[in-house]
Amino acid sequence: MTTDEARELFDYGSWANARMFGAAAALTTEQLEAAVASSFPSVLATLAHIVGVEWIWLRRWLGESPAAIPEWIARPSLRDLQERLAAVEEERAGFLASRTEEDLKAVVTYRGLDGQTFSLPLGKLIRHVVNHSTYHRGQLATLLRQAGHTPPSTDFSRYLHEAVRS
């Protein structure tokens, strides 16, 4: 992986997350918080998970290892999550701006939330984070359909076509 590829993947992730937040903004509070049969108990909780995990991984790359999910995940508003995600994306962009190709090969050692220690190259962890959020955006697409809404396309190819046009 190159630094350009890493930036492109996170630009894609930001674009796709923004599309999902836009779709979620069309839901009523009841729809956002309605109990669903999925990995997380609601649309809002799924969005909170995406934002929380992106925050946790950035903290790990910065040399921290949070021992728990952030407290703000417990009772977030859609607006709060959007603001927190924007802050993560800005801080992550600054982090990536100073990375080299060699930095992406460097091994990051971190503790999982269970306290277990892991070590993997930064570039592989970047792929993991983008893939993780993509997986949960797929769940959100299903939840939006179940709520009677049409989810936005968040395909990588769609992002590339839109990026070329702008």
More confident residue, 75 or 133: 133
pLDDT on residue 166: 75
Q: What is the CATH number of the domain that holds 52?
A: 1.20.120.450
62: in domain: yes
38: in domain: yes
Whether residue 30 contacts residue 147, with contact meaning beta carbons closer than 8 Å, is answered with no
Confidence of residue 89 (pLDDT cuts 50, 70, 90): very high
**Domain assignment of residue 25, given as a range:** 3-160
Query: Is 163 a residue whose pLDDT tops 90?
Result: no
Tens digits of residue pLDDT in 23-38: 999 999 999 999 999 9
Whether residue 47 contacts residue 20, with contact meaning beta carbons closer than 8 Å, is answered with yes
135: in domain: yes
Provide the whole-model pTM.
0.96
Tens digits of residue pLDDT in 116-143: 999 999 999 999 999 999 999 999 999 9
Query: Cα torsion at 116, 122, 123, 125 (round to 10°)?
Result: 30
165: in domain: no
85: in domain: yes
Tens digits of residue pLDDT in 6-62: 999 999 999 999 999 999 999 999 999 999 999 999 999 999 999 999 999 999 999
58: in domain: yes
pLDDT on residue 139: 97
Q: Number of structural domains, the chain?
A: 1
Smallest CA-to-CA distance from 46 within 60, 57, 61, 31 is with 31
